[in-house]
Chain A
Amino acid sequence: MKDMLRTLVSKAKADYLEIRIEETDVTSLRFQGPALEAVNANKRYGGCVRALVNGGWGFVSFNDLDNLQAKVDLAIHQARLVGAAGGDAILAPVPVVEDVVEVPFKEDPRAISLASKIELFQGYNEIIISHGKPVISSSINYFDQYSKIHFANSEGTYILQHKLDLAGSITAIASDGNTTQMGRTGFGSSIDFGVARNLDAKVREACAKAVNLLTAPPVRGGEYTVIVDPDLAGIFAHEAFGHLSESDFVYENPSLHKTMQLGAKFGEKFLNIYDSGLDVGARGYLKYDDEGVATEKTDLIKEGILVGRLHTRETAAKLGEKPTGNARALDYTFAPICRMRNTCIAPGEASFEDMLQGVKLGVYAKGSYGGETNGEMFTFSAGEAYMIRDGKVEELVRDVNLTGNVFTTLANIDMVGKDFTPHESAGGCGKGGQVPLPTSEWAPHVRIQNVVIGGQK
């Protein structure tokens, strides 16, 4: 494979050309209610060619690997058309790499029989099913995906990267006949099936959560002081700032670039946000991105000041900055675009008790149903939430969806906890039709002032 790819890329008549060939095996299973609903085995084999000619890109993806030369020629032909129409793409220089990357396994899911996997999740399912009313059903999803990705480019880089992504979610569903509520726990890893083990206590918690939510009232809409737990603070970091740090939003937008000038103040001194590909075990762990660039830990906000952003080779070149290894593709059917890896809020000094102090009326929001951003505003949705009254965590409320503005909300963070928690979930990030891409979000508890929460008055 290596020699064939090297030959193809080296004689290509393009300013730049890369080929990715991927072989992926996925095992997945799903329980819904007492029954095992699905056990699937998927095999994906395919590749893509991306060419740059006179500043124009051409991209061809396929799963018929015969006649790669024709695919290379087509990509170059398409790139030439774009180049002739005035393409101006350029690439920042990066070191030429030759490497083979293995997965630093803790426990390899491929070494575990399908029967044992099913037995493990069957156990969790039984905890939910045997809980009895008002818990009426369950939903458990698990997958592990092992990929072998060959990458070769015309600059001489050749990387064979083995990757693992595994994740799951376990949901208890309760109903009183009129309303249905859910409690959920999740896990994920890039090296270890072990994260799926020993979850009994968390599954029981999920059952209790679902049951308690049945009698909880919907939150009253309004503007609150909000304390978010590490899970939700992670999603907050991802939506409220991570996406804005992706340079493809900035690199051709002079007005936004001015606002996002390195050195601009975004928050208080205790606010530090970074994005890293180096956290072994995180779903966002990645040695090389899909342009063959070594990943790193990229500081985004240091002591409240904007100090960096996430780059592909093209955005880095255009902004005269250094590539950061954030060019990622969901799979061979997509060209890489600027994406996050593990986006983190670094620990501060506050305790949870410190955060509660002085909050007359607030919301303690925990766990996440996900979030979204449009660049300027963002939302993030809580799995469960409690009212805070006079500094005490009080009654449970449901249907808590929060919103903020990327340019003001970070400055409203007035406390960052010391309890930094590496948390992995089964969710994924979506952008440009590429979803779900494995990312991670680690954070401590965070307190934010003046957060708008939807709901009836």
Chain B
Amino acid sequence: MEFINKAKQKAQHVELYQVHVTETPVRYENNKLKTIDTSDRKVNALRVVKDGKLGFATSTDADLDHLLDMALATAEFGRPWQAALPSQGELPQIDLIHPSTAVEIDAMVDTGAEVIKQLRECHPEVLASARLSTRKSTVRLVNSQGFDGEYSKNMLSMTGILELTEGKNMLSLYASFSSGKLEDQVQRKVRQLVENFQHGRTNVPIQSGNYTVIFSPFCLGDILRPLLACAEGKAVEKGFSPWKDKLGEKLFTPQLSLYDDATIPFAPASCPFDGEGVAARRTAIIQDGRVNSFILDLATAHALGMKPTGNGFRSQPDSLPGPGYSNIVLELTETQPLEQLIGSVQQGIIIHSLMGAWAGNPYSGQVSGNIDLGFLIQDGQIKGRVKDCMVSVDCFRAFREQIAGASTEKEWAWNMFLPHLMLGDVSINAKG
């Protein structure tokens, strides 16, 4: 690429990352079609290493020469950079475009109308909303070591919302998916909303105490957050991860394995290479209860004397790459069908959504959140919704000794592919 050659005259290393994203969301709000949007966005992100120091600049206009000047200006003050940029190597072939995602606006409008119609059948006073969207992105990465990679990806996503307000009692339900291959997700999400609506119509009282709790895939990410934070390379490099010197240690039950996997076909975060040109792969973060690997980009891998894991991701097209997760997969060796799992609970709670559980210090392992949507289970039956209470979990202890079961079925929740996980002896604090 001519620009790279030109830039190489002024810097030791050069890397140009170009993203082009087009998105067309169709939005239904409060039972009716509200807006159709189109967005088209291009970003150029340039990293340079000059005199051993890193510079970074991004721009949404096509003037690469000006971008180079901006990046060189920041390099004057940049961090020292020693890691090698990857050269052209073998990249995995990953399916990212499926014909089922080629959906026209008219079809999205029709699907949305059908979703709204079905949701409204729950109750005459519900407010149903839905957002359907197709997203096409193309990423190109070129660097001065000869790497030149490009991939395109199509995603289809839907979020459905079902709300009912009765006096001061509000029931708000969400369900969403994002996938590169459309199967029966739309119908499945509608079914989930309708089912949770039915369970949520009755509120039941709850006393403070310790309960068996089933975390659904849609809130399990909050409970995994401390683990993900501890394995993240930057926290390891800078010494604040409690796992910094625990590679190979058995911190959790041998039942448990946790993977980062960018190679799953059509999955939300799949890609053939990361934001730095390192080949995508599957990495066991926890294998059979042992801390097996950290999540590393080029810089943290270099600083730790380890190999990069293909996890140099850019949280936004105009952010610097840093250690980040692709698709997260949780596996447990002992599982049973979800129905059996729920059926086995004498007195417990199933939680579908937590609120505020992301706040606080992840390295302490303590997670507590309001039960935004959760149901009381008695004698294996869902009895009704519990409200105005907090659930608290010491995640490090939970994954060591509190796992009481997991479902065989798994579900995608954002970029995570997770089962329902049952923990014993979980603290719930309620009013009164």
Contact = CB atoms under 8 A, between A and B. Distances in A.
Contacts of A64: 40, 42
A373 interface: yes
B402 to A, nearest CB: 12
Contacts of A453: 390, 429
B370 A379 contact: yes
Interface string A379-415: 1110000000000000000110101010100000000
For A58, A398, A403, A457, the residue with the greatest tally of chain B CB atoms inside 10 Å of its CB is A403
Given A375-B172, A381-B356, A403 B370 contact: yes
22 contacts: A32-B234, A37-B79, A42-B58, A56-B33, A58-B35, A78-B37, A78-B38, A85-B33, A87-B32, A118-B77, A181-B363, A223-B429, A255-B125, A369-B360, A372-B359, A379-B355, A381-B360, A399-B361, A401-B369, A407-B168, A454-B392, A455-B429
Interface stretch (A43-51, A91-99, A288-296): A43-51
A32 B208 CA distance: 41
B427 A452 contact: no
Interface string B379-405: 000000001111110100000000000
Interface of A: 32-33, 35-46, 56-64, 74, 78-79, 81-82, 85-89, 114-115, 118, 136-137, 139, 173, 175, 177-182, 218, 221-223, 252-253, 255-256, 259, 333, 335, 369-381, 398-399, 401, 403, 405, 407, 450, 452-457
B127 interface: yes
A37 B249 CA distance: 30
B240 A333 contact: no
A93 B391 CA distance: 47
B359 A457 contact: no
B99 interface: no
Given A136-B240, A457-B427, A61 B37 contact: yes
A46 B41 contact: yes
A46 B62 CA distance: 12
A176 to B, nearest CB: 10
Given A403-B356, A455-B429, 16 more contacts: A36-B77, A38-B320, A42-B318, A43-B67, A43-B70, A45-B59, A58-B35, A59-B37, A63-B42, A78-B105, A86-B32, A137-B238, A371-B359, A379-B369, A398-B366, A456-B394
A394 B103 CA distance: 61
A379 B356 CA distance: 6
A62 B240 contact: no
Contacts of A370: 356, 358-359
Contacts of B234: 32
Contacts of A114: 73-74, 76-77
A450 B361 contact: no
Contacts of A256: 165, 170
Interface in B35-60: 35-42, 54-60
Nearest to B430: A452
A62 B24 CA distance: 12
Nearest to A57: B35
Interface string B94-113: 00000000000100010001
Contacts of B57: 40-43
A39 B370 CA distance: 37
B305 interface: no
A55 B172 CA distance: 26
Contact of B30 (A37, A43, A63, A253): A253
Interface in B135-178: 163, 165-170, 172
Nearest to B129: A252
A58 B427 contact: no
Interface string B199-213: 000000000111000
A179 B33 CA distance: 50
A40 B78 CA distance: 9
B236 to A, nearest CB: 11
A221 B239 contact: no
A259 B37 contact: no
A81 B36 contact: yes
Given A44-B60, A175-B239, A454-B369, A82 B361 contact: no
Nearest to A34: B238
A379 B353 CA distance: 13
Nearest to B78: A39
A39 B170 contact: no
